[in-house]
Structure 1
Amino acid sequence: MPDAEPRRPVSEAMTQPNTSAHAGLEVDEEITIAVMGATGSGKSTFINTLSGSNLQVGNGLRSCTSAVEISCSFQLFGRNITLIDTPGFDDTTISDTDILKMIAAYLSTTYENGYTLSGIIYMHRISDFRMTGVSRRNFTMFRKLCGDSSLKNVVIVTNMWGEVTPERGEARERELATDDILFKPVLEKGACMVRHDNTYASAQEIVRRLANKTPRALCIQKELVDEHKDVSETAAGAELSREMAELVAKHRAEIAQVKEEMREALRAKDEETREELAKVRGELEAHVKKIENDRERLSSEYAEEKKRADEEMKKIRMDLEAEQVARAQRQAQIEQLEVRLRDSTNNSAEEQKRLRDEITRLNNAPRGRRGGICSIM
């Protein structure tokens, strides 16, 4: 396994290139797989196990993945593979609006530049007693991001089998696979579901299922780039807006109830209860205001995020072109030195050694970025 790298934002991430979009650029073939799922479902641990990265792993209630991050690249099945770690839509440190904004900007910018994912892994804890509201919500957003056409490139991974008895785990697995509101619809459309026992061999087998898949564009990529939709108009954006509207309605009903209880406390001259209810009302109203603000800022802040990603992509492509020129120059130098070495039979051993050393130095010179989608998040 490769040496571990420090935790970092998305950088040096390479996806399968569309050669027509990269005419004139020599970009090494690379497989990129996104890893999605709820907070605490084991995404970062899975990535670290395979890649030797040290993405931060959460042991408590707070989420550690609050941005799109990538692993260090690693070799597997003769391919260069990079895994992308994405935050769940239940993150404790960042709003769902910001999560969608980050994921959408990354996916749209890479797709515009000819890159698509080879696969998506969705992590689910088999140890969960039931599919909670939070889990369902994460899976719903996952489906909206992917769409049905990319489900053949999806592997649903159940993990944490060591926390349940085999009988209980198998019963939950059957329920997930056969329930119409759980995983059954996506399995019927081409996704597969496999177990992960938290070993390197198990993780390797999961990636093997995706390594040779034909890269496919996700639904949100087609919506944003091909159909020129606003992020709020995408399936994922509309789903998020719908959820927010439901939550606002729920809180407004709660506020109305609290107001009635405050009036009763006032009539009863129960000042202590009235003050407590006033505090609850203030918290609910603040929450409603925050949700409404999140809904309003999605489009405007996505545009800013997308502009920044596009500017970084432009720099990356310039770096790629510069690296290609430098590589060609090094190769020309090497060829010239090899000719001189072949013609140096009358030269001293010291001169021949110098030529060999120079050829070795040029061959081992740093290659710069590996032609990836670097540092755009």
Structure 2
Amino acid sequence: MLYSLPCPKQFINTVSGSHMRISSGLRSCTNVVQIAPPFVLDGRSVTLIDTPGFDDTTKSDTEILRMIALFLTETYQHGKKLAGVIYIHRISDFRMGGISTRNFKMFRQLCGDSTLKNIIILTNMWGHVGNDVGEARERELASDELFFKSVLEKGAQMLRHDHTLESAQAIIKRLLDNKPLALQIQREIVDEDKDILQTAAGTELNKELLAEKARHKKDMIDLQQELEAAMNEKDEETRRELEAEARKLQKEMDRIDAESRNLADNFQKEKADLQKRLNEMDAEAKEKQQQMQEEYDKKMEEIEKQRRMDADQSREKQEDYGRQIAELQRSGRGGFWTSIGRAIDGLFGVH
């Protein structure tokens, strides 16, 4: 799984040969869970999953948490664990500001400490800074408790990516032999039967929502005092401006209340809807399975027959038949990751 503040699609496209669209504007380039087609590296099949971060420009933090939690819990319930998680950080960033720090905090709550040995902190954008500047920032990130020091001390790795295929492959190879582990939020929801609000990530998010509301309440008190002063002075223009600001602030507090209140309810509803969608897709797949199996058997028989007839042909010709068979076998395999990706896309209105 790749989880990041900067868009990881370029990394995925480089190492897997995918063609995920990369954003060139200010809008988030990842606001849904995306699954790249599997590829083979060192004889191992690798599937990369791109998840959004809590810095999205089109979805709220509660939507992002529900989306990631749905994907992770559903895959875990189907026996799927992750061999590694990559968190991408731009070394070109002048400093690790509030958004980056908060994003990483939520990332840690999702993963938990027990999986840190399977986590890579990946720094990119090295071509945008001088070596001295980049190395100084790298040292600060690795040595400051506010940044990555604590996770590195508990087994996480920090690596550089130079945007080449060789670099990307070397990074993925670091994860190939890992023992797949359940992330903290998977254990909390599935094994411990916790509500999403009771998870570490849900608790952290709700705490931030309540803190934000408290700040808005303080601002509202200040506005009310200014409004009272404006009314006493019969300053109609200022009064109208302050009333508009108060309405805007109240609307924001109402939104926070709704997000906090509906986090758990929406998650349970979406979880049920996701399971329903997967069941429907599974039923459709079973209807086509017999036909696809017959077509598969027929094609395989034709290739094997032609291969036997051409037994005396060149080694290159025989290797070509081998490639055809391998490709046919790959195309005939079930696509669990693709199915769940499509189901979640439909659930969150992505087509």
Please tell me the TM-score bracket, short chain as reference.
0.7 to 0.9
Question: Hey, which of these two has a bigger chunk of helix by percent?
Answer: 2
Q: State how 1:163-178 maps to structure 2 within 5 Å.
A: 163-178=128-143
Q: Secondary structure at the match of 1:115?
A: coil
What letter matches 2:221 in structure 1?
A: A
Residue by residue over 1:281-311, the C-alpha shift from the partner in whole angstroms, topping out at 9 and shown as x without a partner, is 1111111111110111111111122112223
1:197 is aligned to: 162
Q: Is the 8 A contact 2:300 2:325 kept in 1?
A: no
Once the two structures are TM-superposed, the CA of residue 98 in structure 1 deviates from its matched residue by 0.6
Residue 185 of structure 1 and its aligned partner are, at CA, apart by: 0.7
Q: Alignment partner for residue 51 of structure 2, among 86, 91, 116?
A: 86
Q: Which residue of the partner structure matches residue 370 of structure 1? A: 334
1:220 pairs, out of 182, 185, 188, with 185
User: Could you tell me which amino acid in structure 1 is paired with residue 226 of structure 2?
Assistant: E
Contact 1:106 1:376 in 2 (8 A): no
Secondary structure at 1:308 match in 2: helix
Q: Aligned partners of 1:362 and 1:175: how far apart in 2?
A: 48
Q: 1:56, 1:65 within 8 Å by CA — same for their partners in 2?
A: no
RMSD: 3.0
CA gap 1:338/1:124 in 2 versus in 1, 3 angstroms: closer
* Equivalent residues of 2:303, 2:325 under 8 A apart: no
Cα distance, 1:320–1:53 mapped onto 2, change above 3 Å: farther
Paired residue for 1:37?
A: 4
Alignment of 1:246-285 (within 5 A): 246-285=211-250
Query: What is the match of residue 160 of structure 1?
Result: 125
Shift of 1:99: 0.6
Q: 1: CA distance between counterparts of 2:327 and 2:166?
A: 34
* CA distance 1:44–1:247, change in 2 (3 Å): same
Return the letter of the residue paired with 2:184: C
Query: What is the 5 A alignment of 1:91-102?
Result: 91-102=56-67
Give distance in 1, aligned partners of 2:87 and 2:164: 17
Amino acid in structure 2 at the alignment position of 1:282: R
Task: Classify 1:68/1:271 alpha carbon distance in 2 versus 1 (closer, same or farther; 3 Å).
Answer: same
- 8 A Cα contact 1:119 1:215, kept in partner: yes
2:106 aligned partner, one-letter code: M
The residue type paired with residue 236 of structure 2 is: E
Q: State the Cα distance separating 1:115 from its structure 2 match.
A: 0.6
Letter in 2 for 1:370: G
* Shift, 1:368, TM fit: 4.0
CA distance in 2, matches of 1:230, 1:264: 46
Contact 1:69 1:84 in 2 (8 A): yes
Change (3 A) 1:337 1:118: closer
Can you list the C-alpha shifts for 1:247-266, whole angstroms capped at 9, x where unaligned? 00011111111111112222
TM-score (norm 1): 0.79
Which one-letter code corresponds to 1:36 in the other structure?
Y
User: What are the Cα deviations for residues 94-145 of structure 1, in whole angstroms up to 9, with x where unaligned?
Assistant: 0011111111011101101111111100011111111111111100000000
Deviation at 1:227, TM superposition (A): 0.3
1:148 aligns with 2:117: no
C-alpha contact (below 8 Å) 2:278/2:343 kept by paired residues: yes
Deviation at 1:75, TM superposition (A): 1.8
Bigger mean CA deviation after superposition, 256-265 or 240-249: 256-265
Stretches of structure 1 lacking an aligned partner (at least 5 in a row): 1-33, 345-356
Determine the C-alpha separation between the residues in 1 that align with 2:67 and 2:102.
18
Residue 74 of structure 2 is aligned to residue 109 of structure 1: yes
Q: For residues 367 and 162 of structure 1, do their structure 2 counterparts lie closer, same or farther at Cα, with a shift above 3 Å needed?
A: closer
SS at match of 1:156: strand
Specify the alignment match of 2:347 in structure 1.
Answer: none
Show the 5 A alignment for 1:181-196. 181-196=146-161
1:231 counterpart = 2:196: yes
CA distance in 2, matches of 1:146, 1:208: 21
More displaced, 184-193 or 195-204? 195-204
**Match in the other structure for 2:34:** 69
* Distance across 1 between alignment mates of 2:54 and 2:303: 57
Cα distance in 2, alignment partners of residues 248 and 225 from structure 1: 31
Higher relative contact order, structure no. (Cα contacts within 8 Å, ≥ 6 residues apart): 1
Rate the CA distance shift 1:229–1:167 in 2: closer, same or farther, 3 A: same
Q: Does the CA-based 8 Å contact 1:69-1:85 persist in structure 2?
A: yes
Q: Matched residues in 1 for 2:233 and 2:49: separation?
A: 58
Secondary structure of 2:159 counterpart: strand
Equivalents in 1 of 2:226, 2:152: separation in Å? 48
